[in-house]
Every structure is written in C-alpha cells, then in structure tokens.
Amino acid sequence: MRFDSLADSVGRTPLVGLPRLSPSPEVRLWAKLEQDNPTGSIKDRAALWMIADGEKRGVLTPGATVLEPTSGNTGISLAMVCRQRGYRLVCVMPENTSIERRQLLQMWGAEIRYSPAAGGSNEAVAVAKRLAAENPDWVMLYQYGNPANAQAHYETTGPEILDDLPNITHFVAGLGTTGTLMGTGRFLRERVPGISIVAAEPRYGELVYGLRNIDEGFVPELYDPAVLTSRYSVGPREALRRTRELVQEEGIFAGISTGAILHAAMGLAERAVRDGRPAEIALIVCDGGWKYLSTGAYAGTLEEAEAALEGQLWA
Amino acid sequence: MAVQVRVPTILRTYTGGAKLVEGTGDTVAALFLDLDSRYDGLRGRLVTGDDGTELHRFVNIYINDEDVRFLGGLDAKLGDGDEVTILPAVAGGSADARV
C-alpha cells in the first residue's frame, strides 16, 4: 500500500480473529487493531477529521494555533497532523502527567500548558476553555463535543468493520469522549438490524472521582445514550487480567483500556453461548501497551499491578 | 431483596463515612427510598425532577457493573445479593488523559 503522506495512511486497520479467546466456532471475537494507525492509536482518525473539518469550515487557516485538553493519544495524533500541515499545537494536561507522556508530545511538536493535578481531566478541560477565551484567535477542536470526532468513525471505522464482518452481531468499544461508539454505532445501527452496541467504561480508583460536588460532573456533549444497547463499568482488576490474557493467548500487546473492552466483549460471548445463539463480536484495540509500561500494569502479580494503578486514569 | 451499595467519596457525608452500605428494594427507586430512611438527604443527591422521578444527570448507577439507564433507569429490577455502585460522571478515559 502506498500513500502520499503519513496522514493519508490513517485507518483501514486489520480485523483479526481471536481464536483462543473465542468460546466456540459459533461465538467468535474479532479485534480491530487500531494501534496500526500512524501514531499508534485510534485517535489518529478523530484528529485528522477534526483538523480537516476545521479547514473546511474556515476556522483553521495557515499558521493557526490549535488548543486541546489532552495528555494522551489525541495530543500525539493532533501533534502529528498539525506539524504536517503547519499549525502550532498547545496541549493542556494535568501537571502530574507521566514524563513519558510529556516527552512523546514534545517530540511530536506540541507545546504543553499545565493544569492543577488535583482537578484531573475535568480541570484540564476547564483550563483549556479558559485559555480559549483569553486567546480568541486560537482554535480549540474540543474532542468531547466536536461532531467531526464521531463523524470520523461514521465514515471510516464503521464501514471498515462492516466490510470485514458483514454478519456482525455486537460492537464493543471504550467510552471516553464517546466519539468511537457514537460514530461507529450510528453507522452499524443503520445497516445491521438488531445489532448490539456496547460500551465498556473504565472504573478508576477513588481519587479520580474527587469532585467537591455531584453538580461538577461531566458528560461529553457528543454522548447520546440512544445509540447504545448497554454500558458496563469495568474495574482495574478485570481490565488488567484481560490485557494480559490478550497478549498471552493471542499475542496482541495492547493498552489497559483495551482490557476493559475485552472484558465486556467476553461477557457478551459467554451470554451468547449460554443462550445458544451464534455471535460475531467486533471489539476495538485502542492502542499498544508501550506507553503504559511504566504504570506497572504488565509486571508482577495482578494485585501488585492493580495497586500501582490506584489513583491513575489508566484508560 | 438485600443489596450491597457502594457509595462514592463525595456522598459519604450522608452515610457517616461508610463506603459500603446495605439496602432493600425491588427496584432502584425503592432502594433509594429505603436508603433515605436511614441516610437522610442521600436520595436528594441522586434524583431530580418532580417527585424525584429522574436520575441526576451527573450520577451513574450500576447493578452488577451494568448501567441502569439501559435496564429501565429508576425502575430497573433488583435481585437478592445484587451489587449496586453509585459513581459521579467525570471526564475520563478512552486511552486519553492519563495522569
């Protein structure tokens, strides 16, 4: 396959069977390998679509500054696209973000502004919104509310999965910005009667939920529960166990959020076996495990790994 | 119908600091009324609308890890031994924003 540039090679990732984790020949699991995208995560799709949409709408002009609250994959993806197209990128992230995260973002060309550690991601979003108000010429793409994020998946992830798995019965993905589930889910629902669209939501340790008040909560503007069939909360123990099973049984070295998704998918597979129904279950592998090695997720016992994750946003 | 209820840090002022409490009820709505009889004011933080018929926008409730909004909301059925988890909605994940 040949492409004009790296950004042009986003998407068209492989869908691979998981023969050792699938419970029977009638109930099968399929993994969409999003770590095969140019910067190693599913976020390349949303980044490319949000930038292209900003250009189309005329809000992104040559030399523009792009602003985004992110310390993770979205920042890396945006940095790659921005550098290629001549935009400056400013990422807002909590000040206690790991050193490897900062180095990765800076390497790809992003500038970093810090938000107070105590407020977590909620606070990074708030600081980014404040910076956007102070710098009216900056462009905040805002992945939590930008329809182009979901549209990327409606136009690419959904059609790719349906092409590769026409008899799909279930689609399982992680719930963060909700872009993957909203876009892919809408596409598949329009074309596959009776399909189940299932969300796996990471359940963090207590520290991460340290709001002062329930009314300070946050639901991404993109989220529409009508797209989903069900939504499961997956704790760190189960996510870690499945992340390790995925690499041990199938040779796929994935990040921890993928373990949470696999856990929900395997629950659906067990239920299909119990009910005597065939199932073709597609699940998303969000990224590889490399960026999470320093979390301790892959070393020692599950108990040690779970303790190491306490207080971290691991997905 | 005895169920175990996990209470998040910000709501433990209502449960005397308890992280895990027990309650009864055939539905989530009935469970909240039962909890409110012992933990005064807790229900008021979880539901909104006239007569508290809606789940608070920033509150997520799970029965055995499944979101009740997909199980009938406040009418979701409870069985003996079920585990109910209360969590506030926060900005998080999707392989992003790890701190």
pLDDT bucket at B95, cuts 50 / 70 / 90: very low
In B24-43, the residues whose Cβ lies within 8 Å of chain A are none
Each residue's pLDDT tens digit, B41-67: 999 999 998 788 899 999 999 999 999
- pLDDT of residue B97 exceeding 50, the answer is no
Contacting residues of B for A257, CB less than 8 Å apart: 93-95
Strands A111-115 and A88-94: parallel
Say whether both A294 and A248 belong to one domain.
Answer: yes
**How many angstroms from the chain centroid is the CA of residue B66?**
12
Could you say which residues from 205 to 244 on chain A have a Cβ atom under 8 Å away from some Cβ of chain B?
Answer: 206, 208-220, 225, 228-235
Q: Which of A105, A140, A175 is the last residue of a domain?
A: A140
DSSP H or E segment with residue B29: helix B28-38
Q: Check residue A315 and give its pLDDT.
A: 65
- How many CB atoms are located within 10 Å of the residue A226 CB? 8
Residues A234-264 as b or e (16 or more Cβ within 10 Å = b) = bbbbbbbbbbbbbeeebebbbbbbbbbbbbb
What is the ipTM score, two decimals? 0.89
In the prediction, which pLDDT does A210 show?
A: 63
Residues A170 and A241 placed together within one structural domain of the fold: yes
**Confidence at residue A213, expressed as pLDDT on a 0 to 100 scale:** 78
* Residue that is last in its domain, among A112, A140, A168: A140
User: Hey, which residues of A are catalytic here?
Assistant: 43, 257
List C-alpha distances in Å: A22 to A26, A33, A195, A282, A301: 9, 17, 19, 11, 25
The answer to whether residue A228 is domain-embedded is yes
Query: Do residues A88 and A205 share a domain?
Result: no
Q: What is the pLDDT of residue B91?
A: 67
* DSSP for residue A289: S
| A242 and A293 both lie in a single domain | yes
**Domains of chain B with CATH codes:** 2-88 (3.10.20.30)
The residue range of the domain holding A107 is 43-140
Q: What is the pTM of this model?
A: 0.93
Q: Are residues A162 and A282 in the same domain?
A: yes
Q: What is the pLDDT of residue B94?
A: 31
A239 occurs within a structural domain: yes
CB contact under 8 A, A312 and B99: yes
Residue A293 lies in a domain: yes
CB A21 within 8 A of CB A48: no
The total number of structural domains in chain A stands at 2
CA dihedral A142, A208, A237, A268 (to 10 degrees): -40
* Shared domain check, A278 and A131: no
A24 and A76 share a domain?
no
What digits encode the pLDDT tens for the residues A115-145? 887 777 778 888 999 999 999 999 999 999 9
Q: How far is A57 from chain B (nearest CA, A)?
A: 26
Inter-residue contact A145 to A111 (CB < 8 Å): no
Question: In the predicted model, is pLDDT for residue A149 greater than 70?
Answer: yes
CATH of the domain at A130: 3.40.50.1100
Looking at the predicted structure, is the pLDDT value of residue B12 above 50? yes
Q: Are residues A185 and A283 in the same domain?
A: yes
Q: Both tokens of residue B86?
A: 């209360």
Q: What are the E-state strand segments in B9-71?
A: 20-24, 47-48, 54-55, 59-63, 66-67
Residue A2 lies in a domain: no
Tens digits of residue pLDDT in A233-255: 999 999 999 999 999 999 999 99
Task: Report the pLDDT value the prediction gives residue A102, as an integer from 0 to 100.
Answer: 86
Give domain status of residue A152, yes or no. no
> Phi/psi class of residue A69: alpha, beta or left (left: φ > 0; alpha: ψ in -120 to 50)?
beta
Q: What pLDDT, on the 0 to 100 scale, is given for residue B92?
A: 57
pLDDT at A294: 84
Residue of chain B nearest A69, judged by CA positions: B97
Contact residues, chain B, for A179 at CB < 8 Å: 94
State whether residue A65 sits within 8 Å of chain B by CB: no
